[in-house]
A and B are shown apart, each in its own frame.
Chain A
Amino acid sequence: MTTATAAGARRPSLDAAATGANLLDIENLAVRFDLATETIRAVSGVSLTVAPSETFALVGESGSGKSVSMLSVMGLLPSPPATVSGSIRLEGREVIGMPARELRQFRGRDVAMVFQEPMSSLNPVHRVGRQIGESLRIHRGFTKAEARRRAIELLDRVGIPSASARVDDYPHEFSGGMRQRAMIAMALACEPKLLIADEPTTALDVTVQAQIVDLVREVQDEYRLAVVWITHDLGVVAEIADRVAVMYAGRIAEIGPAHEIYRATRHPYTSGLLRSIPRLDRPVTTRLAEIPGSPLRVAEQLRACPFDARCPLVGEGCGEALPELEEVGPDRHGSACIHHHQMGTDSDLWSEGSVTGEHAISGQDGDVVVSVRGLRVHFPVVRGLGRSRSSAIRAVDGVDLDVRRGQTIGVVGESGCGKTTLGRALVALVRPTAGTIDINGDPIDHRSGRHRRVVQMIFQDPFSAMNPGMRVGDVIAEPLRIHRLGTADEMRERVSELLAQVGLPSDAGRRHPHEFSGGQRQRIAVARALAADPEVIICDEPVSSLDVSVQAQVVNLLADVQAATGMALVFIAHDLAVVRHVSHEVAVMYLGEIVERAPRDRIYKAPLHPYTKALLAAVPFPEPGVRSTRSAKLEGDLPSPADPPSGCRFHTRCPVAVEGLCSTVKPELLEVAPGRWVSCHLAVAPGRS
């Protein structure tokens, strides 16, 4: 490790404005990983400053170097293989090359960190309270009793109900949202000056994400905390960021004050990221704007703009030299694009286009392909001797649904609402406890699995949903083999046809899944689902594990496929904004039941159920300063599906619940207008009251 010499000639002029008053001052940071097989230049030439009490958003896709930069601030990168160079100053003190003992005193006391996966980031064998108190014991010399007392106060502060009773719980007894609150409590314990939040909401539901964003904003004011918020989603941080840096391929592509970044974007990559976020306030287009290709992994020293292969503005000079950050606007707004002056305020760089195909969006009246009536899927909770079914997880509890040819039905709800179980029941991966599923009028046959030719599925995680030992060609051909569709030659031909249809090179069939990026793997999954020429595809959160720029590619691919083949899609997701783009009809699920179902435009324009309203309000709005408070904020966590609340299942979290009515009388799912179903005592259909 080398300590960088002070501002060299290459230091961007933008930083000249940075004064000594900064909390964090990073100059020309570079991180290299020397692995056995290759060298990865994860970060190079990154300079940025964070002022006290400021919220700094570090945005980029996976592999862009955003987490690595901040882990090097904490000195948490394993060395070897990591080599960190440049300069990182915390309140004027150089961190790089600092002896381990001194560095440890910074960690937890002056700088604290919150990580992406709250479950795996908490030690499973220690009580939550002990883990929160640990940094107080390390840095402040607290006794066990003092630390525990303080842990209760902190848990209470971050909004854990009855904190003194929960302090001795283990992490697995907390819900996902509570775990992240506990992580925040842990970070706040020593009242640090800087909080680094590494994708703290990515693993959480939209509703919980909104709660966590609000919580961080509150404690930030209270503790006068500077926050570096690492995220891949510009939408999440729009409401809280003061300054934003967008990273690409280990370098800063654009940096500046939030309002400039969002409103006067000066880098085509930033604008691509912004345009690929599905937005609730824009008219629905049949195709989302997509950034072609996939993010770059940098092994060699860069000699050209790393984004040129994916950039619509690519032109003279882009491939000749590495662009440096240049000041392009007020308040130290910088862009590393030599053609930045070509960018308008809201340019048409990334056009959405529209889906074309013989089956493109027909309307309401396709034939019913899948018909679900009274579907219940209960999982018995086995306790004690034998199989006494004293209680059961009511994952799906009375669902009616029709899926029509050429149409997409979106199923949304928080995790635990039963949407995934519903999807699995449709593919007969789980056996219904009651109710019927008919496919083309025939009841589903659980034994033969023959109907699975007709109903296919795409799973959430393309990394684990594919046998890593099989070649991609075999992965795609497997449904053909199972259903004995054609000879070996016909299958080979069909595979290359499918590869072309999902936009993969023809030699992809001979390679293994690990050689592909997340987005490409999801394309393979689409090809596999299409292979047997099904009539319905169940997509279970097909884009939620993908980078924003790639999400749009997969969503568009699904829309294209539907237009070309006229198949029906069931699109299961927790993200209402994505669902809006792909669905003709939307069903909202809560604790195993459908609480509202309506054609897309109706439900988004005028939601009737308070739960739908809350879900919509939780969707982050990718523009700063537009919204500071949420209209209908959802508190708390989903109740246990083993013991759902009486009456209306939502009444425990409902902002408008009527005492005595909602808690006792169960509302029916009623058709309040043609095609418009809602189960709420208080929802009045427009033009019916």
Chain B
Amino acid sequence: MRRRIDVRRLTQYGVVVVVAVTLNFLLPRLMPGNPLVLIAGVDVGLLSPEDRAEIVARVGLDAPLWKQYLRYWGDIVTGDFGYSFRAKRPIVDMIWSRLPWTLLITGLSLIVSAVVGVILGAISAWRRRTKTDLGMLTGMISIESLPSFWLGMVLISIFAVQWGLLPSFGAVTQASDLVGWAHAWDIISHAILPVITLSILATPGVYMTMRYSMLETLGEDYIRTARAKGAGERRVLFGHVARNTIAPVVTVLAIRLGFAFGGTVIVETVFTYPGLGRLVFEAVSGRDYPVMQAAFLVFTAAVLAANLVADLLYPLIDPRTRTS
């Protein structure tokens, strides 16, 4: 059975993209006050009249709205997210320099939390209502309730301050011209604590989804059918339970992948890690609106892309969702 791409789905995604971009375009223009403040992002009064005129012309604030709108789309399509007058850099450069760091720590922590969460969730469900299950469940609920900044600070104070094993801030050691393996280890050692923090915080969600999904599956009639055929526990688990269980977990993970692109403001701030989350933090505290808007666009696109991935993966797992 060949499956065509679901046109209706894709259309829905297109609509969401257009709405998001339009909102992003309209927000600075509809807010009270001079849109220039929001677009230039600095105290406009400090600018010289020439500078102001230049910005107005550059963004096209003197053109009719529809022209501005078309131009805005043109800029986005060509990858021009504007200019940060505060940082004095094109915004796209700022994002490109931050994105790899964010992806490094959020991606790694996503993998770690997925593996640990799925395995522990499966064990918990398989041994439902035993001490193992209850113990793990209680542990996960406790972890879920930990504040992220607190966990990050505890880890810093133990591993960085007390034992001095790992660096406590940044992504690389500043002003060190490390090359090759030494450079790689430098990056890894800086990433370890943020990744551990993020992994610990993300695992309970995966664990809960996995445990609940597997408990559901174990109660299904077809599991009884498999046992009635004489299937052993291993065959029941891997042949019948696994695939039915994993579908909702895959969806949860794909959506988390989308959020991973946004970085994590708190953890990156605690570790002074130069990711997107920290960029957003800096932009907020410096009222650098264009940067915030660009980050918002990147974030929207990533979440949508991740949802699309989930939508495309789901039919591979569950044939009932395939369109014929």
A: which residues have CB within 8 A of B? 74, 76, 101, 104-109, 112-113, 115, 117, 120-126, 131, 134-135, 138-139, 170, 172, 183, 186, 382, 384-385
Contacts and interface: CB of A to CB of B under 8 A. Distances in A.
State the main secondary structure of chain B at its contact with A.
helix
Given A74-B228, A135-B229, A138-B229, A123 B8 contact: no
A204 to B, nearest CB: 16
Contacts of A108: 228-231
A126 B319 CA distance: 8
B224 A123 contact: no
Nearest to B241: A123
B240 interface: yes
Contacts of B230: 104-109, 135, 138-139
Given A107-B227, A122-B225, A125-B244, 15 more contacts: A74-B228, A101-B232, A105-B230, A107-B230, A108-B228, A108-B230, A108-B231, A112-B228, A120-B222, A121-B222, A125-B317, A125-B319, A134-B239, A138-B235, A172-B319
B229 A107 contact: yes
Most chain A CB neighbours (cut-off 10 Å) among B7, B221, B320? B221
A76 B224 contact: yes
A124 B319 contact: yes
24 contacts: A74-B227, A74-B228, A104-B230, A105-B230, A107-B228, A108-B230, A109-B230, A113-B225, A120-B220, A120-B221, A121-B224, A122-B222, A122-B225, A123-B222, A124-B318, A125-B243, A125-B244, A126-B240, A138-B229, A172-B319, A172-B320, A183-B225, A186-B225, A186-B229
Contacts of A105: 230
Contacts of A138: 229-232, 235
Given A120-B220, A123-B240, A124-B244, A115 B225 contact: yes
A105 B228 CA distance: 10
Given A115-B221, A385-B8, A123 B320 contact: no
Contact of B320 (A101, A115, A170): A170
Most chain A CB neighbours (cut-off 10 Å) among B7, B228, B319? B228
Contacts of B174: none
Most chain A CB neighbours (cut-off 10 Å) among B7, B221, B222? B222
A485 B224 CA distance: 50
Contacts of B229: 107-108, 112, 134-135, 138, 186
A137 to B, nearest CB: 9
Contacts, number: 79
Nearest to A130: B239
Interface string B279-314: 000000000000000000000000000000000000
Most chain A CB neighbours (cut-off 10 Å) among B227, B232, B244? B227
Contacts of B225: 113, 115, 121-123, 131, 183, 186
B116 interface: no
Contacts of B228: 74, 76, 107-108, 112-113
Given A122-B222, A123-B225, A134 B231 contact: yes
Nearest to A168: B1
Nearest to B224: A76
Nearest to A111: B228
A122 to B, nearest CB: 6
Nearest to A118: B221
A462 B225 CA distance: 28
A135 B236 CA distance: 12
A105 B227 CA distance: 11
A385 B221 CA distance: 37
Nearest to A382: B8
Given A115-B224, A384-B8, A123 B244 contact: yes
Contacts of B7: 384-385
A117 B221 contact: yes
Contacts of A385: 7-8, 11
Contacts of B8: 382, 384-385
A162 to B, nearest CB: 16
A183 B224 CA distance: 13
A170 B222 CA distance: 14
Interface in B85-142: none
Contact of A124 (B224, B227, B239, B320): B320
B298 to A, nearest CB: 29
A555 B149 CA distance: 66
B216 to A, nearest CB: 12
Nearest to B247: A125
B151 interface: no
B243 to A, nearest CB: 5
B255 interface: no
Contacts of B232: 101, 104, 138
B155 interface: no
A649 B232 CA distance: 48
B319 A76 contact: no
Contacts of A106: 230
A543 B226 CA distance: 32
B232 to A, nearest CB: 6
Nearest to B227: A76
Contacts of A384: 7-8
A385 B319 CA distance: 22
